[in-house]
């Protein structure tokens, strides 16, 4: 708790810019930036974006997968922070303690579990995943750790609010800056998944490029699978400037749609089942 209070006052890697679009974002959403999560929510369902970011509606429920993923993130980040600080690496008990902390802020009755899940089964899965992580090469760092769960923000496109995000892990070696995102997944990732999920990291690496001018920029997904025998996968990609340009074009279009108030439901079997706005969505009439 004490550390948490102090941390809130630590510096942000990139301060807010003087981007005029930040003011528009603040008027619309109360926040003077866009997050990747907000952009991604809009692309999944524009109406869900409106409920969450414009109307500020509390979600009727939170999915267990979200809380579980946050817990795994918290544990893995604690491991890397210990490496940065030169502390002894936390053991499984310490990582499980960090994982459990993610469940504390949530009302247990508001957490929506899958049909075959319980809190106990997820805790057991977390222990298996973190054990696999500790035994994997990914538990060691090549080069130096520069940041863990690091806040980053900056203007990407003129006329679009600053992008604000948290980089899970920022490392460098003699010639490469690596931006890592930690993911939990039901199974191993295909190459298509790596490509499709890369946009967030492309944008973060674009913002982080000023940290080590002249160094090669690389994105890396660290995937912990939620399988019976968890696997730890690393997917490393060099940043492709053409892919960055395409992603930026997409960000601009999303912002134009938000600014213009284009919000509509986008029904999907996958997205709607775990959505926290099902009641509000049914009640929406345009």
Partner 1 sequence: MLKLHAGVSRKVGLPGFSSASASCTVEAELDSTLLNDTDGFQIVVRRAYQSCEKAVQDQIARLTSEPQSEPSQPQEVIEVRTSPAISGPTVTRIPATTNHADLPVTNRAAFRDAPSPRPATASQVKAIRAIAARRKIDLVGLLRERFGLTTADQLGIREASNLIDELKSDEPTASPSPSNGNGAYATTGGAR
How are beta strands 163-172 and 144-154 bridged, if at all? antiparallel
Spell out, one character per residue from 48 to 87, where the chain touches partner 1: x when CB under 8 A holds, - when not: ---------------------------------x--xxxx
Q: What minimum distance in Å lies between the beta carbon of 145 and partner 1?
A: 7
CA dihedral for 115, 119, 123, 124, sign (positive or negative): negative
Dihedrals phi, psi of 53, to nearest 5 degrees:
-100, -30
Select the residue interacting with partner 1 from 24, 66, 127, 145 (CB under 8 A): 145
Report if residue 229 touches partner 1, rule: CB under 8 A: no
* Residue 210 within binding range of partner 1, rule CB under 8 A: yes
Tell the smallest beta-carbon distance from residue 152 to partner 1 (Å). Answer: 9
Nearer to partner 1 among residue 108 and residue 213 (C-beta): 213
Could you give the count of Cα atoms lying within 13 Å of 170 in the half-sphere of its Cβ?
20
One of 12, 124, 135, 271 touching partner 1 (CB under 8 A): 12
Cβ-based nearer residue to partner 1, 143 or 261 = 143
Nearest residue (CB) to partner 1, 1 versus 120: 1
Task: List phi, psi (to 5°) of 228.
Answer: -60, -45
**3-state class (DSSP) for residue 232:** strand
Q: Any contact of residue 148 with partner 1 (CB under 8 A)?
A: yes
Q: Which of 6-14, 132-140, 180-188, 230-238 is the region at the interface with partner 1 (rule: CB under 8 A)?
A: 6-14
What are the φ and ψ backbone dihedral angles of 149, each rounded to 5 degrees? 50, 50
Selection from 250, 213, 256 nearest residue 40 by Cα? 250
The phi, psi pair for 148, rounded to 5°, reads -130, 125
- For residues 193-223, one letter each, b for 16 or more C-beta atoms within 10 angstroms of the residue's C-beta and e for the rest, the string is bbeebbbbbbbbbbbbbebeeeeebbbbbbb
Is 16 or 257 the residue whose CB approaches partner 1 more closely?
16
By CB under 8 A, residue 140 contacts partner 1: no
Given candidates 35, 96, 126, 150, which one binds partner 1 under the rule CB under 8 A? 150
Name the residues that contact partner 1, by CB under 8 A: 1-3, 5-7, 9-16, 81, 84-87, 144-151, 170, 210-211
């Amino acid at each position: 708790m004490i550390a948490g209070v102090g941390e809130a006052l630590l510096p942000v890697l990139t301060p807010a810019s003087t981007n005029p679009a930040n003011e528009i974002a603040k008027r619309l959403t109360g926040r003077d930036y866009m997050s990747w999560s907000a952009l991604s929510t809009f692309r999944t369902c524009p109406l869900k974006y409106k409920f969450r970011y414009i109307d500020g509606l509390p979600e009727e429920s939170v999915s267990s997968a979200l809380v579980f993923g946050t817990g795994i993130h918290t544990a893995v980040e604690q491991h890397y922070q210990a490496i940065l600080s030169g502390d002894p690496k936390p053991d499984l008990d310490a990582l499980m303690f960090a994982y459990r902390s993610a469940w504390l802020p949530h009302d247990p009755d508001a957490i929506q579990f899958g049909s075959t899940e319980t809190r106990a089964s997820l805790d057991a899965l977390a222990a298996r995943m973190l054990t696999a992580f500790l035994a994997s090469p990914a538990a060691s760092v090549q080069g130096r750790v520069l940041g863990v769960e690091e806040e980053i923000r900056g203007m990407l496109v003129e006329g679009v609010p600053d992008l604000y995000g948290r980089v899970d892990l920022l490392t460098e070696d003699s010639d490469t800056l690596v931006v890592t995102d930690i993911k939990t997944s039901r199974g191993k990732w295909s190459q298509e998944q790596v490509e499709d999920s890369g946009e967030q990291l492309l944008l973060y690496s674009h913002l982080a490029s000023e940290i080590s001018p002249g160094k090669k920029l690389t994105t890396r997904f660290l995937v912990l699978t939620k399988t019976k025998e968890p696997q730890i996968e690393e997917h490393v990609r060099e940043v492709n400037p053409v892919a960055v340009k395409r992603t930026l074009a997409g960000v601009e279009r999303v912002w134009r749609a938000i600014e213009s108030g284009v919000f509509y439901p986008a029904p999907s079997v996958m997205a709607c089942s775990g959505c926290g706005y099902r009641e509000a969505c049914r009640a929406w009439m345009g």
